[in-house]
Amino acid sequence: MNTKIRVCIISGAYPKVNDGIGDYTAKLVNSFNKDNLEVSLITSNDEAIRKNIEKNNNFRILPIIKKWNIFALIAILRLIKNERFDIIHLQFPSTKYRRTVSLCFLPFFIRMFFRDTKTVITLHEFSISYPINKLRQILLSLGSHKVVVTDRNELSQLRKFMVNGTKKIVFIPIGSNIEVYEYSPKEKEGFLKKSGIHGQAKIITFFGFVHPNKGIEYLLKSIRKVIDNGIPVQLVVIAQLDFANNAYHNKLKKLMDSLRINESIFITGYTAEQEVSRFLSFSDICVLPFCDGVTLRRGTLIAALAHGKPVVTTKSNRYIPFQLRDKENIYFIPVNDVKGLAKAIELLCAENELREKIAAGASLLAKEFSWDKIARAHEMLYQNILG
């Protein structure tokens, strides 16, 4: 008789904490086949997480870590000793980990004290990490039995630092953190009217956390150009902006004022998953002008593809995911190109056939990133590690 694999996921964040990797973790563990895996989750002792526990019956959530320091490491090792997990799977990084160093030694201690327990680490942001954070991730990778990366560019980047450990690196993509909800045209009309969005204008969405490498300054400037060319557009920023306490957000507010585009911008603030899906579903074009170029580790891109949106995004000179094909399932523009972005928005607003073609290609591509496929890939990885 087959026994379940006992898996313990470690993640600093989990809903309702505002953290993309926490959202990823929630989607992953909820997609596991409970007939094959017995899943526990160690996470932060956070009020927002504790309130969300009661709504979960699929696996065990243990919000036991107050601070991710040496005491957190001790608590995790004690739990492993008591529970005798088959797999420890750490998600890295997390806003909750802060600058922790202790956690980097967890795989080495597991190898020393629990020989039957195998360690897996998923690295979400290796290629864009600062040197000191890269060092933490290399330490974690060296000690772990397997390393999961979520984009092939991350795969090639990590291999440069792990010449003798390339066989342990595995690529498994991410899925959309936002579930797709279906809405009727009547619901769309009512929702947009309620939100104060002009129904006659083409709706352009920007989605995700707002920080400098997202390129939103270039988007704002391009919106000004599009309006000047007589094309009615409404930019919907699906994000929370804190103009009072965030210097970068305040800089964006001043830019909006100077461009005189405030009436053409709707900022949603923090919204629940279903509301995010509504805004994405009701939009005509999604714009994601990343300053470092698009990769498939971008959850916002995967969410837009899953909603069947034509996405305008930036291509890097160093790396372009082979799955993305210009004007077939994506619309590429150069990085930091205001004129190019404005031209792309104008073209897609005008040409319905091109917009629909790219949207259809996006929906087809999104099937590669279903959570069922991602969960099955993880289950196969666990089985292979345990032999």
pLDDT 10s digits, 34-52: 999 999 999 999 988 888 7
* CATH no. of 185-369: 3.40.50.2000
The side-by-side arrangement of strands in the sheet containing 331-334 is 265-267, 233-238, 202-207, 285-288, 311-315, 331-334
Q: If you average pLDDT over residues 49-63, what whole number do you get?
A: 79
Q: If you average pLDDT over residues 18-42, what whole number do you get?
A: 93
CB atoms within 10 A of CB 127: 19
Whole-structure pTM value: 0.89
The CATH class, in words, for 5-175+370-386 is alpha beta
| 293, 167 Cβ separation under 8 angstroms | no
- For residues 32 and 374, give the distance between their C-alpha atoms in angstroms, rounded to a whole number: 9
pLDDT for the residue numbered 6: 97
- Tell me whether strands 87-92 and 311-315 are parallel, antiparallel or unpaired: unpaired
Average pLDDT across the chain, whole number: 92
User: What are the backbone dihedrals phi and psi of residue 123, each rounded to the nearest 5 degrees, phi first?
Assistant: -100, 120
pLDDT for the residue numbered 86: 98
Q: If you average pLDDT over residues 80-85, what whole number do you get?
A: 96
**pLDDT reading at 206 higher than 60:** yes
pLDDT for the residue numbered 204: 96
- For the chain, what are the domain ranges? 5-175+370-386, 185-369
pLDDT digits (tens, 9 = 90+) for 149-183: 999 888 888 888 886 777 899 999 999 999 998 88
pLDDT digits (tens, 9 = 90+) for 238-276: 999 999 999 999 999 999 999 999 999 999 998 888 999
Which residue would you say has higher pLDDT here, 100 or 227?
A: 227
pLDDT digits (tens, 9 = 90+) for 83-122: 999 999 999 999 899 888 999 999 999 999 999 999 999 9
Do 5-175+370-386 and 185-369 show the same overall fold? yes
| 281, 181 Cβ separation under 8 angstroms | yes
- For residues 113 and 49, give the distance between their C-alpha atoms in angstroms, rounded to a whole number: 30
Amino acid identity at 171: F
pLDDT digits (tens, 9 = 90+) for 268-324: 998 888 999 999 999 999 999 999 999 999 999 999 999 999 999 999 888 899 999
pLDDT for the residue numbered 1: 42
